[in-house]
């Protein structure tokens, strides 16, 4: 896991225990009786808001575009596929950035996305993101793997 670059372009609500940070949380929902003002404050401090006029220059998006442009295979996990995010990441230009000129394979999880929603994402991504797996709309990230 530590060799796979994971970029949280909008921040994150906590670190995972293996990341050896002071404020971490497990990958489970917080129970109501465990939620405190401190846990809410710590989680909220990790969230990053990117204003429209600065999105292209944001370091996290630049880093993400750089890595995506070099990749042979891209897998989106828990990604919302919002039009603005697809544009900011330059998904439709990825094959043009790849120095080997090989069509990059892009797949993604699609938990609770309808067939119509998956088809719209496929079209909006210039037919780059594939969801060609059986029962993909019911697969959590763990099931997807």
Between 16 and 80, where is the model more confident? 80
Res 120: pLDDT: 93
Q: Hunting for tokens 């909220």 — which residue is that?
A: 44
Between 86 and 100, where is the model more confident? 86
Q: Looking at the predicted structure, is the pLDDT value of residue 63 above 90?
A: yes
The pTM for the full model equals 0.73
DSSP state of 107: E
Res 110: pLDDT: 93
Res 23: pLDDT: 64
Between 92 and 97, where is the model more confident? 92
Can you tell me the distance from the alpha carbon of 135 to that of 12, in angstroms, rounded to the nearest whole number?
29
Local structure of 8: helix, strand or coil? coil
Token output for 2: 């530590």
Q: 125 and 94 in contact (C-beta within 8 Å)? A: no
Nearest 10 degrees: Cα torsion 132, 135, 141, 145:
-60
Q: 23 and 42 in contact (C-beta within 8 Å)? A: yes
pLDDT in tens, 21-47: 666 666 667 777 777 787 778 778 888
Q: 108 and 84 in contact (C-beta within 8 Å)? A: no
Q: What integer best gives the mean pLDDT of the chain?
A: 82
């Amino acid at each position: 896991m530590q060799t796979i670059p994971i970029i949280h372009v909008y921040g994150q609500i906590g670190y995972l225990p293996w990341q050896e940070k002071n404020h971490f949380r497990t990958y489970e929902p917080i129970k109501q009786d465990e939620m405190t003002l401190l846990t809410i404050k710590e989680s909220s401090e990790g969230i990053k808001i990117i204003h429209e006029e600065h999105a292209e220059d944001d370091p996290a998006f630049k880093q993400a575009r750089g890595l995506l442009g070099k990749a042979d295979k891209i897998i989106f996990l828990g990604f919302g596929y919002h039009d603005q995010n697809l544009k900011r990441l330059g998904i439709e230009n990825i094959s043009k950035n790849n120095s080997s000129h090989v069509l990059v394979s892009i797949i993604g999880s699609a938990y609770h996305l309808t067939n119509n929603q998956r088809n719209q994402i496929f079209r909006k991504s210039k037919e780059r993101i594939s969801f060609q797996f059986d029962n993909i709309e019911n697969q959590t990230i763990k099931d997807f793997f």
